[in-house]
Structure 1
Amino acid sequence: MHAHSESGPYLCRLKIVIQMKSIYSKILILAFMASSLYSYAWGLTGHRVIAEIAENHLSRKARREIKKMMGRERLAYWANWPDFIKSDTTGVWKQASSWHYVNIDPMADFKAFDQNLKAQAGPSLYTQVNTLSSQIKDKNTSEKDRKIALIFLIHIMGDLAQPLHVGRAEDLGGNKINVTYFGEKTNLHSVWDGKLVDSQKYSYTEYATLLDIKSKEEVAQIQSGTLEDWLYDSHKIANKIYAQTPNDSKLSFDYQYKFNDTMERQLLYGGLRLAKVLNELF
Protein backbone atom coordinates (compact mmCIF):
# COMPACT_ATOMS: atom_id res chain seq x y z
CA MET A 1 0.00 0.00 0.00
CA HIS A 2 2.88 2.29 0.82
CA ALA A 3 4.53 1.76 -2.60
CA HIS A 4 1.21 2.20 -4.35
CA SER A 5 0.51 5.49 -2.58
CA GLU A 6 3.78 7.03 -3.89
CA SER A 7 2.98 6.26 -7.52
CA GLY A 8 0.31 8.95 -7.68
CA PRO A 9 2.60 11.90 -6.88
CA TYR A 10 5.35 10.38 -9.07
CA LEU A 11 3.07 10.15 -12.10
CA CYS A 12 1.85 13.65 -11.46
CA ARG A 13 5.42 15.01 -11.41
CA LEU A 14 6.23 13.04 -14.58
CA LYS A 15 3.27 14.58 -16.40
CA ILE A 16 4.36 18.08 -15.36
CA VAL A 17 7.91 17.47 -16.66
CA ILE A 18 6.57 16.18 -19.99
CA GLN A 19 4.24 19.16 -20.31
CA MET A 20 7.05 21.61 -19.50
CA LYS A 21 9.31 19.99 -22.11
CA SER A 22 6.52 20.27 -24.66
CA ILE A 23 5.97 23.96 -23.85
CA TYR A 24 9.73 24.63 -23.98
CA SER A 25 9.99 22.92 -27.36
CA LYS A 26 7.16 25.05 -28.74
CA ILE A 27 8.84 28.21 -27.43
CA LEU A 28 12.09 27.23 -29.14
CA ILE A 29 10.28 26.60 -32.42
CA LEU A 30 8.53 29.97 -32.27
CA ALA A 31 11.78 31.72 -31.43
CA PHE A 32 13.49 30.07 -34.36
CA MET A 33 10.68 31.06 -36.71
CA ALA A 34 10.82 34.67 -35.54
CA SER A 35 14.59 34.86 -35.92
CA SER A 36 14.38 33.42 -39.42
CA LEU A 37 12.75 36.55 -40.84
CA TYR A 38 15.23 38.55 -42.89
CA SER A 39 17.82 35.89 -42.21
CA TYR A 40 20.91 34.67 -43.98
CA ALA A 41 21.03 36.53 -47.28
CA TRP A 42 22.67 34.32 -49.94
CA GLY A 43 23.18 31.56 -47.40
CA LEU A 44 26.63 30.23 -46.59
CA THR A 45 27.73 29.54 -50.15
CA GLY A 46 26.57 32.79 -51.72
CA HIS A 47 28.30 35.05 -49.22
CA ARG A 48 31.51 33.05 -49.55
CA VAL A 49 31.38 33.27 -53.35
CA ILE A 50 31.10 37.06 -53.15
CA ALA A 51 33.93 37.30 -50.62
CA GLU A 52 36.18 35.02 -52.68
CA ILE A 53 35.62 37.04 -55.86
CA ALA A 54 36.34 40.24 -53.93
CA GLU A 55 39.59 38.80 -52.58
CA ASN A 56 40.69 37.95 -56.11
CA HIS A 57 40.39 41.64 -57.04
CA LEU A 58 42.04 43.31 -54.06
CA SER A 59 44.86 45.73 -54.72
CA ARG A 60 48.26 44.91 -53.22
CA LYS A 61 47.85 47.63 -50.63
CA ALA A 62 44.35 46.53 -49.63
CA ARG A 63 45.49 42.92 -49.41
CA ARG A 64 48.42 43.92 -47.20
CA GLU A 65 46.33 46.10 -44.87
CA ILE A 66 43.55 43.54 -44.57
CA LYS A 67 46.10 40.84 -43.72
CA LYS A 68 47.29 43.00 -40.83
CA MET A 69 43.72 43.05 -39.51
CA MET A 70 42.57 39.52 -40.35
CA GLY A 71 45.76 37.49 -40.32
CA ARG A 72 45.95 34.68 -42.87
CA GLU A 73 42.21 34.02 -42.87
CA ARG A 74 40.50 34.68 -46.18
CA LEU A 75 37.52 37.01 -46.48
CA ALA A 76 35.27 34.02 -47.12
CA TYR A 77 36.07 32.70 -43.63
CA TRP A 78 34.34 35.68 -42.04
CA ALA A 79 31.70 36.33 -44.71
CA ASN A 80 28.84 34.71 -42.74
CA TRP A 81 29.78 35.75 -39.20
CA PRO A 82 27.26 38.64 -39.09
CA ASP A 83 24.53 36.06 -39.74
CA PHE A 84 25.89 33.56 -37.23
CA ILE A 85 25.70 36.12 -34.42
CA LYS A 86 21.94 36.39 -34.92
CA SER A 87 21.85 33.32 -32.67
CA ASP A 88 23.53 35.25 -29.86
CA THR A 89 21.25 35.41 -26.82
CA THR A 90 23.01 38.20 -24.91
CA GLY A 91 21.44 40.98 -26.98
CA VAL A 92 24.85 42.50 -27.77
CA TRP A 93 24.22 42.38 -31.53
CA LYS A 94 20.48 43.07 -31.49
CA GLN A 95 20.96 46.55 -32.94
CA ALA A 96 22.69 45.06 -35.99
CA SER A 97 19.61 43.20 -37.26
CA SER A 98 18.50 46.14 -39.43
CA TRP A 99 21.93 46.52 -41.04
CA HIS A 100 21.26 43.66 -43.46
CA TYR A 101 18.56 45.30 -45.59
CA VAL A 102 16.88 48.51 -46.66
CA ASN A 103 13.16 48.65 -47.45
CA ILE A 104 12.08 50.61 -50.51
CA ASP A 105 8.66 50.63 -52.15
CA PRO A 106 8.69 50.43 -55.97
CA MET A 107 10.04 53.68 -57.41
CA ALA A 108 9.45 55.02 -60.92
CA ASP A 109 13.06 56.05 -61.54
CA PHE A 110 16.46 56.52 -59.92
CA LYS A 111 15.73 60.08 -58.79
CA ALA A 112 12.67 58.98 -56.79
CA PHE A 113 14.56 55.99 -55.43
CA ASP A 114 17.53 58.12 -54.37
CA GLN A 115 15.31 60.65 -52.61
CA ASN A 116 13.42 57.93 -50.74
CA LEU A 117 16.65 56.17 -49.79
CA LYS A 118 18.29 59.29 -48.38
CA ALA A 119 15.12 60.33 -46.52
CA GLN A 120 15.18 57.17 -44.41
CA ALA A 121 16.61 57.63 -40.94
CA GLY A 122 18.22 54.23 -40.63
CA PRO A 123 20.15 52.38 -39.45
CA SER A 124 19.92 50.23 -42.54
CA LEU A 125 22.12 48.50 -45.07
CA TYR A 126 22.54 51.84 -46.82
CA THR A 127 23.58 53.86 -43.79
CA GLN A 128 25.83 51.13 -42.41
CA VAL A 129 28.00 50.75 -45.51
CA ASN A 130 29.01 54.38 -44.98
CA THR A 131 29.21 54.13 -41.18
CA LEU A 132 31.36 50.99 -41.20
CA SER A 133 33.63 52.45 -43.87
CA SER A 134 34.19 55.54 -41.72
CA GLN A 135 34.99 53.39 -38.69
CA ILE A 136 37.56 51.41 -40.64
CA LYS A 137 39.20 54.60 -41.93
CA ASP A 138 39.26 56.24 -38.49
CA LYS A 139 42.68 55.76 -36.87
CA ASN A 140 41.10 56.25 -33.46
CA THR A 141 38.97 53.12 -33.88
CA SER A 142 40.40 50.22 -31.86
CA GLU A 143 41.89 47.23 -33.71
CA LYS A 144 39.07 45.01 -32.46
CA ASP A 145 36.34 47.41 -33.62
CA ARG A 146 38.01 47.95 -37.00
CA LYS A 147 38.07 44.21 -37.57
CA ILE A 148 34.41 43.84 -36.60
CA ALA A 149 33.50 46.75 -38.90
CA LEU A 150 35.39 45.11 -41.76
CA ILE A 151 33.66 41.78 -41.21
CA PHE A 152 30.24 43.45 -41.24
CA LEU A 153 31.14 45.45 -44.34
CA ILE A 154 32.16 42.27 -46.19
CA HIS A 155 28.82 40.73 -45.29
CA ILE A 156 26.40 43.57 -45.93
CA MET A 157 27.99 44.40 -49.28
CA GLY A 158 26.98 40.85 -50.12
CA ASP A 159 23.50 41.52 -48.77
CA LEU A 160 23.30 44.55 -51.06
CA ALA A 161 23.61 42.26 -54.09
CA GLN A 162 20.75 40.01 -52.93
CA PRO A 163 17.80 41.80 -54.58
CA LEU A 164 15.26 41.05 -51.88
CA HIS A 165 17.43 42.81 -49.30
CA VAL A 166 16.45 45.94 -51.20
CA GLY A 167 12.84 44.80 -51.20
CA ARG A 168 9.59 45.86 -49.59
CA ALA A 169 8.67 46.29 -45.94
CA GLU A 170 5.12 44.95 -46.40
CA ASP A 171 6.36 41.42 -47.06
CA LEU A 172 9.69 41.59 -45.23
CA GLY A 173 11.69 41.29 -48.41
CA GLY A 174 9.71 38.31 -49.66
CA ASN A 175 9.61 36.44 -46.35
CA LYS A 176 5.81 36.65 -46.32
CA ILE A 177 5.42 35.48 -49.92
CA ASN A 178 4.76 31.75 -49.66
CA VAL A 179 5.96 29.51 -52.48
CA THR A 180 6.92 25.91 -53.05
CA TYR A 181 10.34 25.06 -54.43
CA PHE A 182 10.41 21.59 -55.99
CA GLY A 183 7.42 20.74 -53.81
CA GLU A 184 8.93 22.05 -50.57
CA LYS A 185 7.02 24.77 -48.74
CA THR A 186 9.20 27.84 -48.32
CA ASN A 187 9.13 31.58 -49.06
CA LEU A 188 10.46 33.81 -51.81
CA HIS A 189 13.23 35.29 -49.67
CA SER A 190 14.54 31.84 -48.78
CA VAL A 191 14.60 30.81 -52.44
CA TRP A 192 16.85 33.75 -53.25
CA ASP A 193 18.92 33.46 -50.09
CA GLY A 194 20.19 30.00 -50.78
CA LYS A 195 18.04 27.58 -52.72
CA LEU A 196 18.85 28.94 -56.18
CA VAL A 197 22.57 29.03 -55.36
CA ASP A 198 22.65 25.63 -53.67
CA SER A 199 20.77 24.02 -56.56
CA GLN A 200 23.88 24.46 -58.70
CA LYS A 201 25.87 22.12 -56.41
CA TYR A 202 29.14 24.07 -56.57
CA SER A 203 31.49 24.74 -53.69
CA TYR A 204 32.07 28.44 -53.11
CA THR A 205 35.57 28.29 -54.60
CA GLU A 206 34.30 26.47 -57.69
CA TYR A 207 31.50 28.98 -58.17
CA ALA A 208 33.80 31.97 -57.70
CA THR A 209 36.22 30.56 -60.28
CA LEU A 210 33.46 29.89 -62.79
CA LEU A 211 31.90 33.35 -62.45
CA ASP A 212 35.03 35.50 -62.21
CA ILE A 213 35.94 35.58 -65.90
CA LYS A 214 35.28 39.18 -66.94
CA SER A 215 37.88 41.30 -68.73
CA LYS A 216 39.50 44.28 -66.99
CA GLU A 217 37.26 46.60 -69.00
CA GLU A 218 34.13 44.69 -68.01
CA VAL A 219 35.20 44.65 -64.35
CA ALA A 220 35.73 48.42 -64.43
CA GLN A 221 32.25 48.91 -65.88
CA ILE A 222 30.64 46.72 -63.20
CA GLN A 223 32.51 48.57 -60.46
CA SER A 224 31.51 52.00 -61.78
CA GLY A 225 28.78 54.05 -60.15
CA THR A 226 27.91 54.92 -56.58
CA LEU A 227 26.50 53.00 -53.64
CA GLU A 228 23.10 54.45 -54.52
CA ASP A 229 23.45 53.22 -58.10
CA TRP A 230 24.23 49.70 -56.89
CA LEU A 231 21.26 49.67 -54.53
CA TYR A 232 18.98 50.85 -57.33
CA ASP A 233 20.37 48.07 -59.51
CA SER A 234 19.29 45.49 -56.92
CA HIS A 235 15.98 47.28 -56.38
CA LYS A 236 15.05 47.03 -60.06
CA ILE A 237 15.83 43.32 -60.05
CA ALA A 238 13.75 42.88 -56.88
CA ASN A 239 10.78 44.45 -58.66
CA LYS A 240 11.12 41.95 -61.52
CA ILE A 241 11.29 39.09 -59.03
CA TYR A 242 8.15 40.31 -57.28
CA ALA A 243 6.30 40.68 -60.58
CA GLN A 244 7.15 37.16 -61.70
CA THR A 245 6.76 35.35 -58.37
CA PRO A 246 3.31 35.94 -56.87
CA ASN A 247 2.20 34.35 -53.63
CA ASP A 248 1.66 30.56 -53.79
CA SER A 249 3.87 30.15 -56.86
CA LYS A 250 5.08 26.63 -57.58
CA LEU A 251 8.73 26.93 -58.50
CA SER A 252 11.01 24.32 -60.05
CA PHE A 253 13.26 23.95 -63.10
CA ASP A 254 11.54 26.68 -65.08
CA TYR A 255 12.22 29.21 -62.31
CA GLN A 256 15.88 28.19 -62.17
CA TYR A 257 16.11 28.61 -65.93
CA LYS A 258 14.46 32.02 -65.77
CA PHE A 259 16.53 33.49 -62.94
CA ASN A 260 19.82 31.58 -62.77
CA ASP A 261 21.66 34.13 -64.92
CA THR A 262 20.34 36.93 -62.72
CA MET A 263 21.41 35.14 -59.55
CA GLU A 264 24.91 34.52 -60.90
CA ARG A 265 25.17 38.11 -62.10
CA GLN A 266 24.43 39.34 -58.61
CA LEU A 267 27.03 37.07 -57.03
CA LEU A 268 29.66 38.34 -59.44
CA TYR A 269 28.64 41.98 -59.18
CA GLY A 270 28.52 41.72 -55.39
CA GLY A 271 32.09 40.44 -55.27
CA LEU A 272 33.51 42.97 -57.70
CA ARG A 273 31.80 45.89 -56.01
CA LEU A 274 32.93 44.73 -52.57
CA ALA A 275 36.48 44.67 -53.95
CA LYS A 276 36.10 48.27 -55.14
CA VAL A 277 34.90 49.42 -51.72
CA LEU A 278 37.79 47.68 -49.96
CA ASN A 279 40.39 48.97 -52.40
CA GLU A 280 39.16 52.51 -51.89
CA LEU A 281 39.24 52.08 -48.09
CA PHE A 282 42.85 50.96 -48.05
Structure 2
Amino acid sequence: MKLFKKIIIFTAMCYLPFTSSAWGIIGHRVVGEIADSYLTKKTKKAIAAILGNESVAMASNWPDFIKSDPNYRYLNNWHYVNLKSDLTFDEVNNFLTADTATDAYTKINFLVNEMKTNTLLPNETKVMYIRLLIHIIGDIHQPMHLGKPDDRGGNAVKLKWFDEPTNLHAVWDEKLVEFQELSYTEYAKAINFITKEQRNSWKQQSLVQWIYDTYTLTGKVYAESKPDSRLDYLYNFKFLAPMNDQLLKGGFHLATVLNDIFK
Protein backbone atom coordinates (compact mmCIF):
# COMPACT_ATOMS: atom_id res chain seq x y z
CA MET A 1 0.00 0.00 0.00
CA LYS A 2 2.84 2.40 0.84
CA LEU A 3 4.51 1.61 -2.47
CA PHE A 4 1.25 2.29 -4.31
CA LYS A 5 0.91 5.71 -2.61
CA LYS A 6 4.48 6.58 -3.53
CA ILE A 7 3.80 5.71 -7.16
CA ILE A 8 0.67 7.88 -7.19
CA ILE A 9 2.53 10.84 -5.62
CA PHE A 10 5.44 10.49 -8.04
CA THR A 11 3.09 10.31 -11.04
CA ALA A 12 1.22 13.41 -9.90
CA MET A 13 4.47 15.33 -9.44
CA CYS A 14 5.45 14.55 -13.00
CA TYR A 15 2.46 16.54 -14.18
CA LEU A 16 2.98 19.58 -11.98
CA PRO A 17 3.88 22.72 -13.94
CA PHE A 18 7.45 23.87 -13.66
CA THR A 19 8.33 27.49 -13.02
CA SER A 20 8.63 29.30 -16.31
CA SER A 21 11.98 30.55 -17.48
CA ALA A 22 12.39 33.08 -20.26
CA TRP A 23 13.18 31.70 -23.71
CA GLY A 24 13.83 28.22 -22.33
CA ILE A 25 17.13 26.47 -22.91
CA ILE A 26 17.33 26.97 -26.68
CA GLY A 27 16.26 30.62 -26.71
CA HIS A 28 18.76 31.67 -24.05
CA ARG A 29 21.54 29.87 -25.89
CA VAL A 30 20.56 31.62 -29.13
CA VAL A 31 20.95 34.97 -27.36
CA GLY A 32 24.31 33.90 -25.95
CA GLU A 33 25.56 32.58 -29.28
CA ILE A 34 24.60 35.80 -31.07
CA ALA A 35 26.24 37.87 -28.33
CA ASP A 36 29.47 35.92 -28.71
CA SER A 37 29.72 36.93 -32.37
CA TYR A 38 29.84 40.63 -31.40
CA LEU A 39 32.33 40.42 -28.54
CA THR A 40 35.72 42.07 -28.89
CA LYS A 41 38.87 39.99 -28.54
CA LYS A 42 39.58 41.69 -25.22
CA THR A 43 36.11 40.85 -23.92
CA LYS A 44 36.36 37.23 -25.04
CA LYS A 45 39.69 36.90 -23.26
CA ALA A 46 38.30 38.42 -20.05
CA ILE A 47 35.23 36.15 -20.10
CA ALA A 48 37.40 33.08 -20.72
CA ALA A 49 39.50 34.03 -17.69
CA ILE A 50 36.29 33.90 -15.59
CA LEU A 51 34.29 31.08 -17.17
CA GLY A 52 37.10 28.91 -18.50
CA ASN A 53 35.83 26.66 -21.29
CA GLU A 54 32.18 27.51 -20.63
CA SER A 55 30.81 29.53 -23.55
CA VAL A 56 28.45 32.47 -23.24
CA ALA A 57 25.70 30.31 -24.76
CA MET A 58 26.18 27.48 -22.27
CA ALA A 59 26.48 29.86 -19.31
CA SER A 60 23.12 31.42 -20.16
CA ASN A 61 20.96 28.69 -18.57
CA TRP A 62 22.60 28.42 -15.16
CA PRO A 63 20.15 30.81 -13.39
CA ASP A 64 17.24 28.59 -14.46
CA PHE A 65 19.02 25.33 -13.65
CA ILE A 66 19.53 26.37 -10.00
CA LYS A 67 15.99 27.61 -9.35
CA SER A 68 15.07 24.47 -7.41
CA ASP A 69 18.03 24.93 -5.04
CA PRO A 70 16.73 26.61 -1.83
CA ASN A 71 20.04 28.48 -1.51
CA TYR A 72 19.31 30.41 -4.70
CA ARG A 73 15.58 31.10 -4.40
CA TYR A 74 16.35 34.71 -3.55
CA LEU A 75 17.23 35.10 -7.24
CA ASN A 76 13.72 34.28 -8.50
CA ASN A 77 12.58 37.92 -8.72
CA TRP A 78 15.68 38.89 -10.71
CA HIS A 79 14.23 37.47 -13.94
CA TYR A 80 11.40 39.88 -14.73
CA VAL A 81 9.73 43.28 -14.29
CA ASN A 82 5.93 43.22 -14.03
CA LEU A 83 4.33 46.27 -15.64
CA LYS A 84 0.71 47.34 -15.93
CA SER A 85 -0.85 47.68 -19.39
CA ASP A 86 -0.88 50.72 -21.67
CA LEU A 87 1.94 52.72 -20.12
CA THR A 88 3.71 55.41 -22.13
CA PHE A 89 7.50 55.53 -22.47
CA ASP A 90 7.66 58.32 -19.88
CA GLU A 91 5.54 56.29 -17.44
CA VAL A 92 7.74 53.24 -17.87
CA ASN A 93 10.86 55.37 -17.56
CA ASN A 94 9.57 57.04 -14.38
CA PHE A 95 8.62 53.69 -12.90
CA LEU A 96 11.99 52.11 -13.62
CA THR A 97 14.19 55.03 -12.62
CA ALA A 98 12.38 55.23 -9.27
CA ASP A 99 12.49 51.44 -8.96
CA THR A 100 13.95 50.04 -5.74
CA ALA A 101 12.38 46.58 -6.05
CA THR A 102 14.28 43.38 -6.62
CA ASP A 103 13.67 42.82 -10.32
CA ALA A 104 15.45 42.49 -13.65
CA TYR A 105 16.00 46.23 -14.08
CA THR A 106 17.57 46.90 -10.70
CA LYS A 107 19.64 43.72 -10.79
CA ILE A 108 21.06 44.30 -14.27
CA ASN A 109 22.24 47.69 -13.04
CA PHE A 110 23.64 46.09 -9.89
CA LEU A 111 25.50 43.35 -11.78
CA VAL A 112 26.97 45.75 -14.33
CA ASN A 113 28.16 48.11 -11.61
CA GLU A 114 29.71 45.29 -9.59
CA MET A 115 31.50 43.81 -12.59
CA LYS A 116 32.83 47.23 -13.65
CA THR A 117 33.87 48.72 -10.31
CA ASN A 118 34.38 46.02 -7.68
CA THR A 119 37.95 44.89 -8.19
CA LEU A 120 37.86 42.70 -5.07
CA LEU A 121 35.23 40.26 -6.29
CA PRO A 122 36.40 36.64 -5.90
CA ASN A 123 36.33 34.64 -9.13
CA GLU A 124 33.48 32.41 -7.96
CA THR A 125 31.34 35.53 -7.50
CA LYS A 126 32.38 36.81 -10.93
CA VAL A 127 31.28 33.48 -12.43
CA MET A 128 27.87 33.77 -10.79
CA TYR A 129 27.44 37.43 -11.72
CA ILE A 130 28.35 37.01 -15.37
CA ARG A 131 26.04 33.99 -15.71
CA LEU A 132 23.22 36.01 -14.18
CA LEU A 133 23.89 39.01 -16.41
CA ILE A 134 23.92 36.86 -19.56
CA HIS A 135 20.64 35.27 -18.55
CA ILE A 136 18.73 38.30 -17.31
CA ILE A 137 19.52 40.43 -20.35
CA GLY A 138 18.01 37.59 -22.36
CA ASP A 139 15.01 37.60 -20.02
CA ILE A 140 14.08 41.24 -20.59
CA HIS A 141 13.78 40.59 -24.33
CA GLN A 142 11.10 37.94 -23.77
CA PRO A 143 7.75 39.80 -23.82
CA MET A 144 6.11 37.91 -20.98
CA HIS A 145 8.92 38.83 -18.62
CA LEU A 146 7.48 42.32 -18.82
CA GLY A 147 3.92 41.08 -18.42
CA LYS A 148 1.09 42.05 -16.10
CA PRO A 149 1.46 41.57 -12.34
CA ASP A 150 -2.11 40.26 -11.99
CA ASP A 151 -1.54 37.25 -14.28
CA ARG A 152 2.11 36.67 -13.29
CA GLY A 153 3.51 37.53 -16.69
CA GLY A 154 1.05 35.35 -18.58
CA ASN A 155 1.46 32.28 -16.37
CA ALA A 156 -2.22 32.53 -15.40
CA VAL A 157 -3.39 32.94 -19.01
CA LYS A 158 -4.44 29.37 -19.84
CA LEU A 159 -4.75 28.42 -23.50
CA LYS A 160 -3.74 25.72 -25.97
CA TRP A 161 -0.70 25.46 -28.17
CA PHE A 162 -2.24 23.45 -30.99
CA ASP A 163 -4.04 20.85 -28.79
CA GLU A 164 -1.67 20.97 -25.83
CA PRO A 165 -2.92 22.74 -22.68
CA THR A 166 -0.37 25.35 -21.62
CA ASN A 167 -0.12 29.03 -20.67
CA LEU A 168 0.93 32.20 -22.46
CA HIS A 169 4.24 32.49 -20.63
CA ALA A 170 5.23 28.97 -21.63
CA VAL A 171 4.33 29.63 -25.27
CA TRP A 172 6.90 32.42 -25.36
CA ASP A 173 9.44 30.63 -23.20
CA GLU A 174 9.63 27.50 -25.27
CA LYS A 175 6.76 26.57 -27.59
CA LEU A 176 7.42 29.15 -30.31
CA VAL A 177 11.19 28.68 -30.26
CA GLU A 178 11.03 24.90 -30.25
CA PHE A 179 8.43 24.92 -33.05
CA GLN A 180 11.16 26.11 -35.43
CA GLU A 181 13.01 22.79 -34.89
CA LEU A 182 16.49 24.28 -34.93
CA SER A 183 19.47 23.79 -32.64
CA TYR A 184 20.64 26.93 -30.90
CA THR A 185 23.63 27.23 -33.25
CA GLU A 186 21.43 26.79 -36.32
CA TYR A 187 18.94 29.31 -34.98
CA ALA A 188 21.60 31.92 -34.22
CA LYS A 189 23.13 31.51 -37.67
CA ALA A 190 19.71 31.82 -39.35
CA ILE A 191 18.79 35.17 -37.79
CA ASN A 192 22.10 36.87 -37.05
CA PHE A 193 21.99 39.63 -39.63
CA ILE A 194 22.33 43.21 -38.38
CA THR A 195 22.82 46.26 -40.59
CA LYS A 196 25.33 48.99 -39.82
CA GLU A 197 22.45 51.36 -39.13
CA GLN A 198 20.91 48.92 -36.64
CA ARG A 199 24.23 48.46 -34.85
CA ASN A 200 24.73 52.20 -34.47
CA SER A 201 21.16 52.70 -33.28
CA TRP A 202 21.08 49.78 -30.85
CA LYS A 203 24.41 50.76 -29.30
CA GLN A 204 22.95 54.13 -28.29
CA GLN A 205 19.84 52.69 -26.63
CA SER A 206 19.48 52.64 -22.86
CA LEU A 207 18.32 49.75 -20.70
CA VAL A 208 15.02 51.59 -20.25
CA GLN A 209 14.58 51.72 -24.03
CA TRP A 210 15.27 47.98 -24.35
CA ILE A 211 12.61 47.29 -21.75
CA TYR A 212 10.10 49.65 -23.31
CA ASP A 213 10.59 48.15 -26.78
CA THR A 214 9.93 44.67 -25.38
CA TYR A 215 6.99 46.02 -23.37
CA THR A 216 5.46 47.41 -26.59
CA LEU A 217 5.56 43.90 -28.07
CA THR A 218 4.09 42.54 -24.83
CA GLY A 219 0.92 44.56 -25.43
CA LYS A 220 0.57 43.09 -28.93
CA VAL A 221 1.09 39.57 -27.57
CA TYR A 222 -1.70 40.00 -25.02
CA ALA A 223 -4.03 41.35 -27.70
CA GLU A 224 -3.50 38.25 -29.88
CA SER A 225 -3.42 35.67 -27.06
CA LYS A 226 -6.80 35.57 -25.37
CA PRO A 227 -7.47 33.14 -22.49
CA ASP A 228 -8.80 29.73 -23.58
CA SER A 229 -7.86 30.36 -27.22
CA ARG A 230 -6.06 27.86 -29.46
CA LEU A 231 -2.77 29.05 -30.87
CA ASP A 232 -1.40 27.35 -33.97
CA TYR A 233 0.25 27.99 -37.35
CA LEU A 234 -1.27 31.46 -37.75
CA TYR A 235 0.11 32.55 -34.38
CA ASN A 236 3.55 31.31 -35.38
CA PHE A 237 3.24 33.24 -38.67
CA LYS A 238 2.30 36.47 -36.85
CA PHE A 239 4.96 36.37 -34.17
CA LEU A 240 7.95 34.55 -35.67
CA ALA A 241 9.58 37.72 -37.02
CA PRO A 242 9.02 39.76 -33.82
CA MET A 243 10.34 36.88 -31.72
CA ASN A 244 13.45 36.58 -33.89
CA ASP A 245 14.00 40.33 -33.59
CA GLN A 246 13.89 40.02 -29.80
CA LEU A 247 16.40 37.17 -29.79
CA LEU A 248 18.68 39.15 -32.09
CA LYS A 249 18.40 42.35 -30.07
CA GLY A 250 18.97 40.39 -26.87
CA GLY A 251 22.22 38.99 -28.23
CA PHE A 252 23.48 42.30 -29.54
CA HIS A 253 22.54 44.20 -26.39
CA LEU A 254 24.23 41.55 -24.26
CA ALA A 255 27.42 41.91 -26.30
CA THR A 256 27.24 45.69 -25.94
CA VAL A 257 27.05 45.40 -22.14
CA LEU A 258 29.86 42.84 -21.89
CA ASN A 259 32.13 44.84 -24.20
CA ASP A 260 31.52 47.91 -22.02
CA ILE A 261 32.33 46.03 -18.83
CA PHE A 262 35.62 44.62 -20.14
CA LYS A 263 36.77 47.49 -22.37
Instruction: Please tell me whether residue 67 in structure 1 is matched to residue 48 in structure 2.
Output: yes
**Unmatched tracts of structure 1, length 5 or more:** 1-14
Paired residues, number: 261
| Partner Cα separation in structure 2 for residue 134 and residue 75 of structure 1 | 19
| Partner Cα separation in structure 1 for residue 2 and residue 190 of structure 2 | 57
Instruction: Please tell me whether residue 54 in structure 1 is matched to residue 40 in structure 2.
Output: no
The aligned residue for residue 112 of structure 2 is 133
- Residues 107-146 of structure 1 correspond to what in structure 2 (within 5 A)? 107-137=86-116, 138-146=118-126
- Residues 25-104 of structure 1 correspond to what in structure 2 (within 5 A)? 26=12, 28=13, 32-33=16-17, 36-37=18-19, 39-88=20-69, 91-104=70-83
Contact 2:99 2:106 in 1 (8 A): no
| Partner Cα separation in structure 2 for residue 223 and residue 256 of structure 1 | 29
| Partner Cα separation in structure 2 for residue 171 and residue 154 of structure 1 | 26
| Partner Cα separation in structure 2 for residue 210 and residue 19 of structure 1 | 49
Q: Which piece of structure 1 moves more, 103-112 or 211-220?
A: 211-220
Instruction: Please tell me whether residue 150 in structure 1 is matched to residue 130 in structure 2.
Output: yes
Contact 1:104 1:117 in 2 (8 A): no
Contact 1:125 1:156 in 2 (8 A): yes
| Partner Cα separation in structure 2 for residue 192 and residue 224 of structure 1 | 27
Provide the identity percentage. Answer: 38
**Unmatched tracts of structure 2, length 5 or more:** none
CA deviation vs aligned residue, 1:225-244 (integer Å, no higher than 9, x gap)? 10011001111110111111
| Partner Cα separation in structure 2 for residue 64 and residue 173 of structure 1 | 37
Instruction: Please tell me whether residue 189 in structure 1 is matched to residue 169 in structure 2.
Output: yes
| Partner Cα separation in structure 2 for residue 119 and residue 136 of structure 1 | 23
Q: Name the amino acid aligned to 2:137.
A: M
Deviation, structure 1 residue 140: 1.2
CA deviation vs aligned residue, 1:247-277 (integer Å, no higher than 9, x gap)? 0111100000111101100000000000001
Q: Name the amino acid aligned to 2:78.
A: W
Deviation, structure 1 residue 23: 4.4
Structure 1 vs Structure 2 CA RMSD: 1.6
Q: Name the amino acid aligned to 2:186.
A: E
| 2:193 alignment partner, one of 199, 205, 213 | 213
The aligned residue for residue 106 of structure 1 is 85
- Which structure would you say has the larger Rg? 1
